[in-house]
Amino acid sequence: MTDPIIYPPHFMSMDVADRVLQDVYSPNDVPEVLYWDKEWWCFNGKAWTGVDKEEIEGELTRHLQHVYYQSKDGLKPWAPTRNRISEIVWALGITSRPRNRDFKAPAWLGGGYTTNPANLIVMNNGILDFHTRKFQPSHTPALFTTWHLPFDYDPHAECPTFEAFLNSIFEHDPAGRKTVQEFAGYAVSGRTDLQKALVIIGPARGGKGTLSRTIQQLVGLSNVASPRLKDIGSEFGLAELIGKQLAVVEDARNDYKDNPATVERLLSIIGEDAVAVNRKNRDFWHGTLPTRFLIVSNDVFSLGDNSGAILSRFVSVKLKKSFKDNPDPDLGKKINQELPGIFNWALAGLQRLEEQGKFTQPQTMEEVQGLMNDLNSPVANFLDETPQFELTRNPEDWVTRSELHHAYKAWCEEVGAHPMKQVNFVQALVAVDPGIESKNTAVGDLPKARRIFGIRKVQGVNTWLTNKQSA
């Protein structure tokens, strides 16, 4: 018969929590449970994963039903109850909580570690420092990271099938091939500091789906979210991004109507700003999402951002070939078998990205961005193309709203665009440039009226249509 395990009594909850942390959650003298960011986390043998509170309660119950405490009448069973377990879970949350208020993943738990945890990539068979390429063929709970790549590291692995595929789809744009390689490295590294998203435009069966799926497999499907653009701007739309390293938006053109909230949230996430996330029937989550964005579409798409700010966050590439008449149904399977080699390919892209400090600009990017700008900022295009008015940004220059809107409607008729109502036009106009202001005010001896400042009328040009007809 084994000796009974003696614990402090249930009313000494902090002492019990200390014992539980040591006996249950520290098999190798390093704690494998953590309460952080209002969530419970446990080490799964490779990385840390979120667990439900009920799982912690169940494990404590199973352990504590076999221990005793010393009373004045001798040893008594600890006898876990719902209330007693609730008290210990509360105390364990305090005991296991990081002491550093600024704690965030990745991080070392405890001292004595000199390697920057942000330089480490956890693989199936160990941990790689992507700066030094030093590989540790084991895992440790001392490294708090919430994700890992689902394949082994092999420094000698190659990817000939994938390389041949890239040759076939990037023949027209070698720079675009480099961009995709750099983004793949960016995605597996955990970096977000370049504040860019990758946009891939291309025809059906043109390779963009294979590229997207390969990058998803590279990052690990459990680390990927697949939101729709329209959902990102919805009340609970960001909840699925919490903890996800990559968000892949498929065929962006088909499911989206202009929503300022979508643009604002994309700008915040890509720009590393903190966001508030409404989680249905749970507390709000506050923090910086670690999510990189990959947006894939058959055609260019509109986000309704007249300021052009979101386009500045995109690195865009266009594929032009279609394999519709000559598909390889086994290509995805072949490429998936080369993930260790594709990872090495991505590391080469990451190294180039770090040396350059920016993404390589694809040769097709100017074409894509130009078309997207036309769709997203028609008012900016109007200002660029109309000869009747000039953007000066001078607060002394002004035109009336009605006169400018009338010229805009004439321009829309000429180019085949659908004109906005005046109030929406003014809102879009002000978003185009910070030097444009809309005021309902008097000027000099002129009576109060709705005016646009920072724009002047060009003398000698009467209307957009008159100018076009005389050209």
Residue 327: is its pLDDT beyond 80?
Answer: no
pTM (predicted TM-score): 0.86
Question: Could you tell me the two tokens for 19?
Answer: 């014992």
325 confidence band (pLDDT: 50, 70, 90): low
Range scoring the smallest mean pLDDT among 235-244, 378-387, 435-444: 378-387
The mean pLDDT of the chain is 92
Instruction: List the one residue out of 290, 229, 299, 239 whose CA is nearest residue 264.
Output: 229
| pLDDT band with cut points at 50, 70 and 90 for residue 465 | very low
H/E element, 316: strand 314-318
Position 351 confidence tier, pLDDT thresholds 50, 70, 90: very high
The amino acid sitting at 356 is: Q
pLDDT average, residue stretch 96-105: 90
pLDDT of residue 447: 93
What DSSP line would sit under 205-273, residue for residue? Answer: TSSHHHHHHHHHHHH-GGGEE---HHHHTSTTTTGGGTT-SEEEEE-TTSS----HHHHHHHHHHHTT-
Angle at 124 between CA 287 and CA 332, to 5 degrees: 90
CA quadruple 316, 320, 322, 323: dihedral sign:
negative
Give me the mean pLDDT over the 314-335 stretch. Answer: 87
Ordered structural domains, the chain, with CATH: 5-108 (no CATH), 160-372 (3.40.50.300), 377-470 (1.10.10.10)
Out of 250-254, 264-268, 439-443, which region has the weakest mean confidence (pLDDT)?
250-254
Listed in sequence order, the DSSP H helices in 24-171 are 53-64, 82-96, 160-169
pLDDT attached to residue 58: 98
pLDDT tens digit sequence for 174-210: 999 999 999 999 999 999 999 999 999 999 888 999 9
Query: Cα(57)–Cα(54) distance, rounded to whole angstroms?
Result: 5
Residue pLDDT, tens place only, 226-249: 999 888 999 999 999 999 999 999
Q: What is the mean pLDDT of the segment spanning 81-106?
A: 94
Q: Is the pLDDT of residue 471 over 60?
A: no
Runs of H (alpha helix) within 65-103: 82-96
Rounded to whole angstroms, the Cα distance separating 249 from 379 reads 27
Q: Are 83 and 76 in contact, with CB atoms under 8 Å apart?
A: no
DSSP secondary structure, 353-364, as one string: HHHHSSPPPPTT
* pLDDT the model gives residue 321: 86
Return the DSSP state at 319.
-
The pLDDT assigned to 461 comes to: 60
The secondary element (H helix, E strand) that includes residue 174 is helix 174-189
As a whole number, mean pLDDT of residues 78-105 equals 95
